[in-house]
Every structure is written in C-alpha cells, then in structure tokens.
A and B are shown apart, each in its own frame.
Chain A
Amino acid sequence: MILKNSKILLEVCDLRATVNGTEILKGLNLTVRSGEIHAIMGPNGSGKSTFSKILAGHSAYEITGGTVLLEGKNLLDLAPEERARAGIFLAFQYPIEIPGVVNSQFLRLTYNTVQTHRGHEELDPLEFDDFVREKMKLLEMNPDFLERSVNEGFSGGEKKRNEILQMAILDPRLAILDETDSGLDIDALRIVANGVNQLANENNATILVTHYQRLLNYIVPDYVHVMEAGRIIKTGGKELAFELETRGYDWVGIEHDTAARATA
C-alpha cells in the first residue's frame, strides 16, 4: 500500500557493481518506503537477481559505485549476517540444501539470533515449537518439515514455502523475493502469495523479483519497475505488468532509448 508520509526504508542511488570484472549493475536507482510492494521485472540477464544478492551482501560481487541506505544507514558497510539482523531478508531463487542440520534447529537459531539483535528474548525449544507451528499453518505446511534436514530432498515448491516460513519467523523490514514463483504449481503459488500478503504491513516493504506477471495476480504491487542492462528503465503502477505481459519487454527498451536520445 502506498502511504502518505511513510518513511523511506531503502534508498539505492546510482548503484554500480561488477562480477569478475564485468559490470552487471550500471547505475541503479530505487526508493522503497514502508508499506510498499515493489515488483522488479525484466528479461533474463538484466541484473534482477544480482541486485537481490547484492542487497543481501553476497561476496561474489564488487560494488564499484553508488550508495545503498537502509533506514538511513549505509547497508554496504555491513556483513551479510549484519544485514539480515538489520532486517533484510532474501527469499532465495534456489534455496540451499544443508544436509544433517535439522530444520527446527536451524529455524530456532536464526530466530533467536535475530531476536537477540533486536533486544528481544530468545525462545526455548518448546516455546519455539509452538511459535513455528502457528506460522506453518499460514503456509499450510506439514509439521514433518521441522524434523527434516534444511531443504534436503525438498521439492521445488516445498523449498519455496520453507523460504516464506523463514520470512514469517524473522519478520523482516525489507523482504526481497527472488523468483519465488518459479517452480510453483498454481496451488502452491496461491498459498505462498497468501502468506506474503498476510505478512505485508505498514512497517515493512517487499520487493518481488520476477519474470512473469502471473505472481502479480496474487500479490498486487504498488510499483512495477522494468530492469534492463543493469538499471531500472521504466517505472509504473500494477497496470505496467499487464502491458509487459501482452507486449513483452522490447518496446520498453526502445522507448527508453528514444527518450534518452531526445534528452541528449
């Protein structure tokens, strides 16, 4: 929801980044305020996933210019775990399997780590069990998940649900969902979207990174951004997504180039 006078959560200014010497982000600008849902769309290779990982602090990318502020603080100074504790959450496109580490232990450790950082009490295993089971209902998850190794042998849909479960537990300020809809059948998509909608409130914000408009039928964005070649080249409301669905991405690029030439 777009709120009047809501405060800025994330401010990205002229962000540039490289991987192995190749520039992937070429001056990206984005402002996200509390309460808002932003969708970032764009063709393969436009830098959408890279942008998500950079916000989370992945070490493979080198920041070569620009600034990123989270609630006014320099995010780029923080290690990945500090960013997570500060409220950045990334739902991975391909959640990582961790054999031997039990999901319930992992979830409790991550919950308690983030809670401690926020100055809250930790939960003991029994309290946490009640807490997590309540959250699992939201995502219609079988409690058996708790006893399995983190993501090991999970189907694509189960992994994505496990991501949203973690998001529900950690209650982030800014959630970035990287292609969360990929690999989901229509029922799972509905459940996941429902979970995301229920978690959204006036104090947090969500960035949806996606290829397809499909997800946006279930999670309605306040803004839709089109990304190409490492920057955002067009921003609109939810109707932009429908236009992209019918016309594809090419016209946006052409329009952008024409506009750029006109200004030059």
Chain B
Amino acid sequence: MSATLENIVNQPYKHGFVTNIETDVAPKGLNTDTIRMISAKKKEPEWLLEFRLKSYEAWLKMEEPGWQNVHHPKIDFQAISYYAAPKQKPKLKSMDEVDPELLRTFEKLGVPLHERMALAGVAVDVIFDSVSVATTYKHKLAEVGIIFCSMSEAVTDHPELIQKYLGTVIPPSDNFYAALNSAVFTDGSFCYIPKGVKCPMDLSTYFRINTEESGQFERTLIIAEEGASVSYLEGCTAPAFSSNQLHAAVVELVALDNADIKYSTVQNWYAGDENGIGGIYNFVTKRGLAKGVNSRISWTQVETGSAITWKYPSCVLLGDNSVGEFYSVAVTNHYQQADTGTKMIHIGKNTRSTIVSKGISAGHSNNSYRGLVKVAASATGARNYSQCDSMLVGQQSGAHTFPYIQVANSSSQIEHEASTSKIGEDQLFYFAQRGIDAETAVSMIINGFCKDVFQQLPMEFAVEATALLSFKLEGSVG
C-alpha cells in the first residue's frame, strides 16, 4: 500500500516548460549601478531611485535571517540577474501587440490574456519575469474609478499614490529580503479602490518566472479607501530548472475605515525534483495594515510549490474593531521545506483575528507553522483564535509548530488549538473495505482536512486548489 501513497504524491509538475522568447537580461550582480540601471530602464522619478538606493544601503548592513527552520546553501546574491524582460515593443496599445509566444505561454497555463476569452469575471495582471506584460479589464474597472495596473505604470500615472503608500506597511528595513526587494523590485501589480466602491470582479495577478538565472522581485500594493472592498487572487508557476531561483516579493495592503481586502494565493512555483534538485526559493514578505476602524484584511493561501517557502502574511490591526484573518494550507513533498505562518499585531481596541493553518507533509519534507499573536496594551478587548493542524503522510516527513503569543493587557482573549494526525494504513483499509480506492480516499481525507481553508477561497480558486492538492499528493500515502 505504501507504493500507492508514493505514486499519489509523486505526480510530475505540469508547468515546468520554458518559453522560448528573446529576453533582455541584465548582467549578473548587484551594486548601485544595477539599481540605477533598473530605475533608468523604467524611467523612474528621482524619489523612487532614492527609495531604492536607501533600501540598498539598509540591505548591505543586514544579515540573512537564520531563525527559520529551513536549510539551504548560502545564496550568492552576485550570481543573480536582477532584471529580465521579454524583448517587445516599448508601449503596447492593445493585447494584439503582445508577443504571440507569450500569449501561448499563458494560454497553456490556463490564463488567457484576450479579454474575450479571459476568465469570466476576473481581471488579470500578468507578470513575466521582471515585467508586467498585460492587464485585462483595465478600462472597464476605470469606469468605476478603480485603478488596476502594473506597478511601473502606476509609478508613471499615479505617482502621488505610490509615493504616499509605498513602503509604509513594510518599510525597506523590515527584513533582509524586504530590503533587497525594495532596492531591486522590477514590477508588480497596483490596485486602488476608491471610497465606497465594491470591486465588481475579482482582481488577479499571475506571476511567471521564465529565465533561469534571474530572480523575481515583484511588488504589489493594494489600497482600499473608506468603505471599499476587493477580492484579490495571486497565482504563480515557473519552469523546472535544476538550479534554484530566488523569488523575493513584497505585498502591501492598506485598508482604511470600513474597508475590506481579501487576498488569496495559490502558490505553485516549481518545487524541485524528487531528489530536491532545483526549485524556487520563495522568500516573501506580505503584510496588511488594517488602518481604519472596522476594516478587515483576510489572507488565504494554498502553498504547494517552491523548494523553500518562507512567508508570513500578516495583519497589523491598527483601527479599532478591525479584523485580521489568515487561512493557510501548506503542502510539502519530497525535499521541500516550508516555514510559513502569520503575525497578528493587535493595536486597536476590540480587534479580532483568526488563524487557521493546515500543514500537510509527505516524502522527506519539512513543514513548519510559525505564528505570532501580539496584543499591545492599547488593544483592550482583543480576541484571537488560532488553530494549527498538521497531517503527516508516510514515515519520513516532519511537521513543526512554533506559536508565539505576547499579550500586554488583561482584557484580551487568546485561544490556540493544535493537532497532528497521520493518514494511516488503517484509514485507507477502512475506505478500501467500503469499495473506495486509495487515491479517492487520500483526496477525500486531505480535502476534509483542508475544508476550513478551501471554503474561504473564491470558487474558481477552490476548484483549482482541490485539484492541485490531489494531484500533488497522488501516490504518497503508505
């Protein structure tokens, strides 16, 4: 029966192809000239170049974090190319001008870029290596005042918003990888929902790394003004290379009074092969600032890819009565390592947070939940509920939980529940005795285990996530 579980987990990665496209790749290495080059290529204003250079200064003084429960050879930051872009016409007037090779790539990935064939009701910004290649439904959204475009365009067209918010939730000096990103970020998505507007469709960014020796450093910024709401989706894939690529993104969310931002991720970067060769280092800083009263920031993530995942989508609950949520499923297989979780920082009164984390470890992988619940003295009446469940598949995998709780007042309530379970031979035999084969049984058990998280995902994502998980875990029980 172990053979069945093995096969269930060990399905090949579908998105591992490379697009053959002429790419403009910067020479490897990082110094102030590299940063000036990126800034010049993007025709950036002086203040942004300043921001980058200051970030670089800060980064030089910082050390890579060493506290996470993952292991990898030291990264040579001089061996990475910090800019890679498909060669194309300088300014695209319509989707018809996008390189057909790119269109084919994204169609193959299930992200058609022509609006007429696009996913119904989802606007997509597509990032290929370092640049945004297309944004759909931009004009339709503009009719209700929503700005949805690439970060580069936002810098040119809406500099006042970028200058006002960039780096306010995650300052460049926040951590090593955030500083690096702040110095060299190349593109990303920008989204602004004006006062009182409920975004009529889901917004989405699709990230694709294509170049072997480049890193991807994208930057996403989402602002929801008073009473605004938006649901945002993020997807990512990369070709299968035997080397490791660094992906160090920064995502900042700002929710003002009564605003609501829901951010969902299905992360399926290349995870390396069954011996742990290759794969993405996914070192990402994501944080939402629930700045206004009654605001809400909700993170949902399904993490299935990457050789190493290091990310803690967090909420700073500044406004009174604001709400933070974190729903996570992290699946690791073979030699994957994940150290992921969240931080809920309660500052405003009566702030509430919910953490639901489900970790599934198969093969020789290691899966850690790391979470901080911090309640400041000012956050009277704050409440947190955390639930961390781990599931082990097979004999060689590891599950770890590192919860940190710091409470500085006496009127707050914190609850933490944790469990560890195992898909056992006994469960599979029970299913089999009722006529159900092992693959169906595993997918039923896993989906049952992840149910609380999947039901937070927008419909089309939930279907994708469910399929991805059964696919990912095919053959691993035993």
The interface of chain A, by Cβ under 8 A from chain B, is: 56-60, 79-81, 83-85, 88-90, 92, 95-96, 98-102, 105-106, 109-110, 113-114, 117, 149, 166, 170
Interchain CB contact (< 8 A) of A100 among B425, B434, B436, B451: B451
User: A83: which B residues are within 8 A, CB to CB?
Assistant: 433
Do residues A170 and B434 form an inter-chain contact, with CB atoms below 8 A?
A: yes
Residues on A with C-beta less than 8 A from B433 are: 56-57, 80-81, 83-84, 88-90, 92
A81 in contact with B435 (CB, 8 Å): yes
Given contacts A101-B444, A105-B444, 11 further A-B contacts (CB under 8 A): A58-B429, A81-B436, A98-B431, A98-B445, A99-B421, A99-B448, A100-B447, A102-B448, A109-B444, A117-B435, A170-B435
- Is there a chain A Cβ closer than 8 Å to B440's Cβ? yes
Assess the B435–A114 pair: CB atoms within 8 A. Answer: yes
When A58-B429, A59-B429, A84-B432 are in contact, do A100 and B437 touch as well, CB less than 8 Å?
no
In the complex, which residues of chain B have a beta carbon less than 8 angstroms from the beta carbon of A84?
A: 432-435
The contact sample of 10 A-B pairs, CB cut-off 8 A, is: A56-B429, A59-B429, A96-B430, A98-B430, A98-B448, A101-B448, A113-B434, A114-B434, A149-B448, A170-B434
Render B427-459 as a binary contact track against A, CB cut-off 8 A, 1 for contact.
101111111110010001101110100000000
Q: Mark B225-253, 1 if CB is under 8 A from A, else 0.
A: 00000000000000000000000000000
Pair B425/A166 contact, Cβ less than 8 Å: no
Please name all residues of chain A whose beta carbon is closer than 8 Å to the beta carbon of B75 when the two chains form the complex.
none
Q: What is the distance, in angstroms, from A72's C-beta to the closest C-beta of chain B?
A: 21
B408 at the A/B interface (Cβ < 8 Å)?
A: no
Interface-central residue, B426, B431, B449, by most chain A CB under 10 Å: B431
B1 close to chain A: CB less than 8 A = yes
* Cβ contacts under 8 Å, A105 to chain B: 444
Q: Which residues of B contact A100 (CB under 8 A)?
A: 445, 447-449, 451
The answer on a CB contact under 8 Å between A57 and B435 is: no
Q: Please give, as numbers and ranges, the residues of chain B lying within 8 Å of A58 by CB-CB distance.
A: 429
The answer to whether B451 touches A80, judged by C-beta atoms less than 8 angstroms apart, is no
Q: Given the known A-B contacts A98-B448, A106-B444, are A57 and B432 also in contact in the complex, defined by CB atoms under 8 Å? A: yes
The 7 A-B pairs with the shortest beta carbon distances in the complex, nearest first, are: A100-B448, A80-B432, A110-B434, A96-B430, A84-B435, A101-B448, A113-B435
Chain A residues contacting B447 (CB-CB under 8 Å) are: 100
The chain B residue with its CB closest to the CB of A84 is B435
Which of A60, A88, A96, A110 is in CB contact (< 8 Å) with B436? A110
B427 and A96 contacting across the interface, CB-CB below 8 Å? yes
Give every chain B residue within 8 A of A79 (Cβ-Cβ): 432
The listed residue (B426, B430, B434, B449) touching A99 by CB distance below 8 A is B449
- Which chain A positions have C-beta within 8 A of B435? 81, 84-85, 110, 113-114, 117, 170
Please judge, given known A-B contacts A59-B1, A59-B425, A113-B436, whether A92 and B445 are in contact too, CB under 8 Å. no
Which of A98, A117, A166, A170 lies in contact with B427, CB distance below 8 A?
A98
User: What is the chain A residue whose CB lies nearest that of B434?
Assistant: A110
Q: How far is the CA of A57 from the CA of B421 in the complex (A)?
A: 25
- Docked CA distance A56–B431 (Å): 12
A100 to chain B: closest residue by CB: B448
Once the chains are docked, how many angstroms separate the CA of A100 from the CA of B1? 22
Cβ-defined partner of A95 (8 Å) among B424, B430, B432: B430
B338 CB to nearest A CB, Å? 21
A79 to B440, CA, bound (A): 15
CB-CB contacts below 8 Å: B401-430 with A: 421, 424-427, 429-430
- CB-CB under 8 A from B427, the residues of chain A are 96, 98
Query: Quick check: A81 and B437 within 8 Å, CB to CB?
Result: yes
Q: Mark B151-181, 1 if CB is under 8 A from A, else 0.
A: 0000000000000000000000000000000
Chain A residues in 8 Å Cβ range of B448: 98-102, 149
Structural contact, A81 and B430, CB atoms closer than 8 A: no
Q: Give the complex CA separation of A110 and B434 in angstroms.
A: 6
Chain A residues closer than 8 Å to B429, beta-carbon distance? 56, 58-59, 80, 96
A57 to B425, CA, bound (A): 13
**Contact partners of A109 in chain B: CB under 8 A:** 436, 440, 444
Within the complex, the shortest CB–CB distance from A39 to chain B, in Å, comes to: 21
Closest residue to B1 on the A side, CB-wise? Answer: A59
- The answer to whether A101 touches B437, judged by C-beta atoms less than 8 angstroms apart, is no
User: In chain A, what residue has the closest Cβ to B425?
Assistant: A59
- Checking A96, A106, A149 against B426 with a beta-carbon cut-off of 8 angstroms, the contacting residue is A96
Chain A neighbourhood of B444, CB < 8 A? 101, 105-106, 109
- Closest Cβ of chain A to B425, distance in Å, is 7
Minimum C-beta distance from B98 to chain A (A): 43
Closest to A115 in B: B435
Question: Taking the nearest CB of chain A, how far is it from the CB of B330, in angstroms?
Answer: 16
Chain A's nearest CB lies how many Å from the CB of B387? 13
Closest to A98 in B: B427
